[in-house]
Amino acid sequence: MMRNPFHNIQGGVCAPAGFQAAGVACGLKSASGPGGGRDLAVLLSTGPATCAGVFTTNRVKAWPVLLCQKHIARGKARAVVVNTGSANCMTGEQGRKDAQVMADLTAKLLGLRSKEVLVCSTGLIGPRLPMGKIQRGIKKAVRTLSAKGGQDAALAIMTTDNYARQAAVEFRLGGKRVRIGGMAKGAGMISPNMATMLAFITTDAALPASALKTCLKRAVKDSFNSITVDGEMSTNDTVLLFANGAAGISLKGKDLQVFQEGLNLVAGRLAKMIVEDGEGATKFISVNVKGAPSNAQAQRIARAIADSQLVKCAIHGEDPNWGRILSAAGASGVKFDPGKADLQLAGVRMIRRGEPVSFSPDKAHKALSAREVEIVLHLHSGAGCATIFTCDLSEEYVTFNAEYHT
């Protein structure tokens, strides 16, 4: 049996060598809210770093996303500044200027060029940034940057999250210790590509920008692009990956494959935390579709099931209403023969070769009472497979989002 080379460690984005972070309170959100009032974060690579990013595909993009895309085109960046409270989206020309001021001020205080600094924002669409508070917050965050600041930074980027999402792994390559760390936020308005989420991942390995971009896209595909809470796409979604080479190793060949596995682990854990802590969520749901004509079609079916409000409500009520699952699959637009389908819900077989299977409602209800619920749909129509992670739809989600603005 092959030994697992990856070891879980603490520290989040500051676990890799050469990274510092800070999370401070500057009055953007209530002191009694998530993160203990922390509402602005700065992450810094103390040395030069390559950087790659993946962003929302929404046609309505926030100003920070547009600035990030411009600055990251070089494949290099050393810092990112993140505010909560306002998405800085649909804020007119002043919003563009405000995002640039955030980059300029952070760069000046860190002794960097503006194009080495990225900007991310999260919060309500429409309100302009309170730049006085944000500028004071940036100054405070830069003063408090620390190699132990990962936790504070993770707390500072939270909005409706109930806890900070962090993950980090350590492994050895070429006799060198390599680390990958990350933090993320997101609980509602979650659906690819990607979600109302921000994620920041760091590594002390050295990778050229082209390889870093490829690795990030692969990791995002099976993590942040394989989750959904409510089928809603945000204007600010951003995932950034920094590599500074502080570990003293440049990755290529088989080493690059091992790095990809580690990156997938960190991204996957952060993505699952987002779903587990979805707004009002009481269930973590895995939708596994097998035997589809292709992987892409399997993903399309899995997403249709995961986004179905009726399916999510049934699982919240621990009701084995399997008809909703088949109905959602059939509405996905993918051609398959329902007469060949097998379905298991929470480990209980419901359908075999298109025919209902007798099962105990009490047993099914008990199985659905678990925190984690798996849906397995096998179409017997090909070799395509896909998994999408989602959560249930509860009364709390509806109440929260009905009153979000007020």
Q: Which residues are catalytic?
A: 196
Beta bridge partners of 376: 288, 344
Rg (CA), the chain: 22
DSSP 8-class letter at 276: H
Residue 331, C-beta contacts closer than 8 angstroms, at least 6 positions apart: 304
Alpha-carbon distance of 197 to 220, in angstroms, equals 12
According to DSSP, residue 194 is labeled S
Pairing of strands 40-45, 19-24: antiparallel
* CA atoms lying within 13 Å on the CB side of residue 42: 32
> Terminal CA-to-CA distance of the chain, rounded, Å?
56
SS3 category, 18 = coil
Q: Is the dihedral of CA 108, 109, 115, 116 positive or negative?
A: positive
* Token pair in block for residue 159: 């909005």
For the record, the structure tokens of 315 come out as: 């699982």
DSSP 157: T
Spatial strand order of the sheet with 355-356 comes to 355-356, 348-352, 342-345, 372-378, 284-292, 384-391
Evaluate whether 156 touches 137 at the Cβ level (below 8 Å). Answer: no
Q: Which two tokens stand for residue 112?
A: 């960097």
The CA distance from 140 to 119, in Å, is 17
Quote the tokens at residue 20: 């510092």
